[in-house]
Chains A and B, each alone.
Chain A
Amino acid sequence: MHIQLLYFGRPADHLGIAQEHADVPDHLTTLAELLAWLRLRGGIWQQELADHRIRCAVNQEFCELTAAISPDDEIAFFSPISGG
């Protein structure tokens, strides 16, 4: 399944990545599973994408980690927001 991944805030800075087009296994159905799959990259990915440190959006709407993912979704992972 083809998914566009965006990163903002602390994880984008620490991982040195703003976006990527990922080919993820079809059996991944939720954001939590996608995060776990990304953490398999090891090292800093494990720390930065720990569930409790990450907030997310699917197609530009804030979502819980239990949210479902679909092909061609735009998925963003970021640290807790701090505007204003």
Chain B
Amino acid sequence: MNVSIQQQDFDIAAELSAVRNGNGKIGALVSFAGLVRDFSGDATIQSIYLEHYPGMSERALHKILEQATARWELLDARIVHRVGQLLPSEQIVLVITAAMHRKAAFAGCEFIIDYLKTAAPFWKKEQTSQGVVWVETRDSDVQQMQRWQRGHDQSGEKI
């Protein structure tokens, strides 16, 4: 398990390779990358600024990885989260999960990004054509996270 909070960009292929490296039990590798959109509602985004709570953010991300690893028996998992000034289309966050089978890798990856959005101390400020906005937790992200606590999605399918 590995967590990195950094200003510099990341190379998805290199990160995937680092997780995959030498572990013959891995049958599935899933990655999620979050990017900066160029719009927010009707406004155009010029840049965003990401801030975190050093110390607490690393601990929170490790805890999320531990939970996902235990729940889906992941073989490895990694989070890279950038901070500082980012421009539209730049990469913000990367989640990688490795498991024996794809279902665990997919579910673990989705769980990690859903929890990251609601349980890790990061803040995003958008510089837009209509001014500066501090983004707050979205209700839809909280609902997404709560699915995992219930253990099933809206259709009743077990997750």
Chain A residues close to B by CB (< 8 Å)? 6, 8-10, 12-13, 57, 60-62, 76, 78-84
Chain A interface, >50% SS class: mixed
Contact of A82 among B113, B119, B136 (CB under 8 A): B136
B59 pairs with A84, CB closer than 8 A:
no
A8 pairs with B121, CB closer than 8 A:
yes
B116 pairs with A13, CB closer than 8 A:
no
A8 pairs with B134, CB closer than 8 A:
no
A78 pairs with B53, CB closer than 8 A:
yes
A76 pairs with B122, CB closer than 8 A:
no
A79 pairs with B93, CB closer than 8 A:
no
Q: Output the least CB separation between A44 and chain B (Å).
A: 14
Q: Which residues of A contact B56 (CB under 8 A)?
A: 57, 60-61, 76
Q: Which residues of B contact A76 (CB under 8 A)?
A: 53, 56, 121
Tell me if B146 is interfacial: C-beta within 8 Å of chain A. Answer: no
B123 pairs with A10, CB closer than 8 A:
yes
B121 pairs with A57, CB closer than 8 A:
yes
Count of chain A to chain B residue pairs whose CB atoms are closer than 8 Å in the complex: 73
Chain B interface, >50% SS class: mixed
What separation, in Å, do the CA atoms of A76 and B34 have in the docked complex?
27
Tell me if B81 is interfacial: C-beta within 8 Å of chain A. Answer: yes
A80 pairs with B136, CB closer than 8 A:
yes
What separation, in Å, do the CA atoms of A84 and B80 have in the docked complex?
10
Question: Which residues between 88 and 105 of chain B lie within 8 Å of chain A, taking CB atoms?
Answer: 92-93
What separation, in Å, do the CA atoms of A62 and B120 have in the docked complex?
9
Most buried by A among B117, B118, B123: B123
Q: Please name the residue on chain A nearest to B79 by beta carbon.
A: A84
Q: Which residues of B contact A82 (CB under 8 A)?
A: 117, 122-124, 134-138
What separation, in Å, do the CA atoms of A17 and B55 have in the docked complex?
19
Q: Output the least CB separation between A77 and chain B (Å).
A: 11
List, sorted by A's number, 13 A–B pairs whose CB atoms are closer than 8 Å: A6-B53, A8-B52, A9-B51, A12-B51, A13-B134, A57-B53, A60-B59, A76-B121, A78-B53, A81-B118, A82-B122, A83-B81, A83-B93
